[in-house]
Structure 1
């Protein structure tokens, strides 16, 4: 990974931190995307300390804001002429209904709309690498149905896990659609389930007294990041696109995720929701 440039969102803790550290240990220049400057800078210094790699940069972004995502893209573009790997890792699970600054249901905004917009804003930089890779962190938790109008708006009968499953299904639909449309560009697009990983985010719903016990049965962030590192750095993963990985192999997702008409419908709606032009990249 020497001379490679990698962006990892949500890189100050958990799986994102482990992935950024793992890529830095392989010699890559890392762009850490974090929401909080203080925590992000602490994480950046720790990665430099542990890996000896000083080519670690911090960029700030609030992924619940499309304006902030656009600012992140501009900040990156002003510093780098290409992007070799984009790891869309950051996500959130919210225990009550919330609305983003742009009026979208918060889970959908953070877990899906933000990576959708960021990926499109950096497509030309990924293509400039001649072997760009997009790694989308999805989940084994996938909705079996998708109502696009309901997905973007907070519902009266809100369920945090239902909202999360909906957003992660959207991530997989995006992965499959973009992989096919980018098949002639040299950009590989894949998604993955990192496993059940012990992080502050994943244990929010676990009572405090049970968290030490939960840690015994959950993977570490380093274990959860292994598949990200494989898809980001291994030579064989660069030849694969449009796959969803769990464990160490490509596996199937829910039947609805292969619906090409739904993929296109979500894609076209997403262009509208994020303010992107219809020709963000050509589609048939």
Structure 2
């Protein structure tokens, strides 16, 4: 990976940090995307210290803002003419109804709309790679249905877990649809479930006094990053696209995720929501 350029969102802690570190250990140039400059810089310096790889950069982005995602894309494009691996890892689970800066339900905005927009804005940089890879961190938590009108606004009564399941289902469906659109582009796009991993985000719903106990039954972030690194770096994964992985192998997702009509509707609505043109995937 020493000649590769990789971007990892949510890279200052948890699975994102472990993935960024793993890519750095393999010699890649790693662009860490973080929301907070101080925490991001601390994480960047720690990866440099642990790996000896100086080719680690920090870019800032608030994934709840589509404007911020566009700014991130412009900052990357000004520095790099190629992107070999995009790891859409960052996400959020919220315990009360909130809307993003653009007026969308916050969980859907952060977990789905932000990576959808970022991916499309960087497609030409991914195509400039000899084998561009998009790695979408999804979840085993998947809604069984998808109401597109309901997905973008907070529902009453509000359930953070329900909103999270909806967003992750959308990630998987978009992965499948984009894989078809990118079939002849040389870009592989896959999704994964990293496992039940102990991170501050994953234990938000656990009472503080139970968190040490939860840690005993959950895997460390390094284990969660293994599958990300497999899809990012292994030769075999570069030949695979449009799959969802769990436990290092491709597995099935909920039945509705394979609904091609709904996949297309989701994709077309996502272009509208994020302000992308209808011909967003047009590659040379």
2:168 counterpart residue number: 168
Counterpart of 2:127 in structure 1 is 127
Aligned match of 1:154: 154
Aligned counterparts of 2:162 and 2:201: Cα–Cα separation in 1: 16
Aligned to 1:192, the other structure's residue is in SS state: strand
Q: Structure 2 CA distance, aligned partners of 1:167 and 1:206? A: 21
Distance in 1 of aligned mates of 2:193 and 2:61 = 24
1:2 maps to: 2
Shift, 1:157, TM fit = 1.2
TM-score by length of 2: 0.99
Residue 180, structure 1, aligned to residue 183, structure 2: no
Mapped partners of 2:34, 2:65: distance in 1: 13
Q: Distance in 1 between matches of 2:137 and 2:37?
A: 23
Distance (Å, rounded) in 2 between the aligned partners of 1:116 and 1:204: 25
Superposed displacement of residue 209, structure 1: 1.0
1:121-176 Cα offsets, whole Å, 9 max, x none, are 00000000020000000000000000000000111211100000000000000000
Distance in 2 between residues matched to 1:53 and 1:180, nearest whole Å: 36
**What SS class does the counterpart of residue 101 from structure 2 fall into?**
coil
How far apart, in 2, do the equivalents of 1:229 and 1:130 lie? 18
Please list, as runs of the form range in 1=range in 2, the aligned pairs for 1:8-27 lying within 5 A after superposition.
8-27=8-27
Q: Partner residue of 1:189?
A: 189
Residue 78 of structure 1 aligns to a residue whose secondary structure is helix
Match of 1:215 in 2: 215
Question: Which of 92-101 and 205-214 deviates more?
Answer: 205-214
Deviation at 1:282, TM superposition (A): 4.7
Q: Distance in 1 between matches of 2:69 and 2:17?
A: 20
Q: Which runs of 5+ in 2 are unaligned?
A: none
**SS in structure 2 at match of 1:116:** helix
C-alpha distance in structure 1 between counterparts of 2:180 and 2:279, whole Å: 16
Provide the residue aligned with 2:109 in structure 1.
Answer: 109
Output the CA distance in 2 between the equivalents of 1:191 and 1:136.
4
Q: Name 1:261's counterpart in structure 2.
A: 261
CA RMSD across the alignment:
0.8
How does the TM-score come out when normalised to structure 1?
0.99
Structure 1 segments of 4 or more deviating over 6 A?
none
What does residue 58 of structure 1 align with? 58
Structure 1 unmatched runs, 5+: none
